[in-house]
Amino acid sequence: MNSSHDTLPRAAIPGASVIARLSCMVVQPVLSRVVRRIAERHPSLFARLGPHQGTDFVIDPVELPFALHLRPDPEALVFRAVPRDALPAAGATIRGKFMLLLELVDSEEDGDAAFFSRDLDVTGDTEAVVRLRNALDDVDGSIAEETAEMFGPPGRAILARLRRAYPT
């Protein structure tokens, strides 16, 4: 899996940088809580990543005003929202529509099919991306549902609404 160019369209939106920064501030406490909980419940994820625990992944849901930065190092775990104009240097970038990325996390979609249909754009270290995918494939259950469950009925309602709003 490798692509050398961004195939997904982007439109410049006036004030996008301000919206992105505000959005990051709003979602960051949730992301921090989620990643800590997932790390506690699924420590085997890190072992499956092997040498790629220190890889910086940029996960870019194209419809959102920000991207996500993941460094799955169990000693210094990073999962943060980042404005696109302030992305860190990435070992690998995974870009696609939000719901596709969410379904890939839960292994509900075929990453290879999404890549070859150009619904998913992967750049950088493809071995790291494959290891991340394999680690997520080994998780029993749904990380999305676990995350929604953390927030009780509102979390479950938001996940259900997202799944209805983003038909695949």
List, for residues 89-101, the tens digit of each pLDDT value.
999 999 999 988 9
List, for residues 40-61, the tens digit of each pLDDT value.
999 988 889 999 999 999 999 9
Does residue 33 fall inside a structural domain?
yes
Query: Quick one: DSSP state of residue 69?
Result: E
| Segment (H or E) for 92 | strand 92-96
List, for residues 56-86, the tens digit of each pLDDT value.
999 999 999 999 999 999 999 999 999 999 9
Question: What is the predicted pLDDT for the residue at 152?
Answer: 94
Assign 1 a pLDDT band (cuts: 50, 70, 90).
very low
Question: What is the predicted pLDDT for the residue at 10?
Answer: 56
Question: What is the predicted pLDDT for the residue at 2?
Answer: 42
Does residue 94 fall inside a structural domain?
yes
The total domain count for the chain is 1
Does residue 26 fall inside a structural domain?
yes
Does residue 3 fall inside a structural domain?
no
Does residue 25 fall inside a structural domain?
yes
DSSP string, 35-73: HHHHHHH-THHHHHHGGGGGPPEEEEETTSSEEEEEE--
- CATH number for position 83: 3.30.1050.10
| Between 16 and 127, the higher pLDDT residue | 127
Does residue 68 fall inside a structural domain?
yes
The whole domain housing 39 covers 16-165
pLDDT tops 60 at residue 13: yes
Does residue 58 fall inside a structural domain?
yes
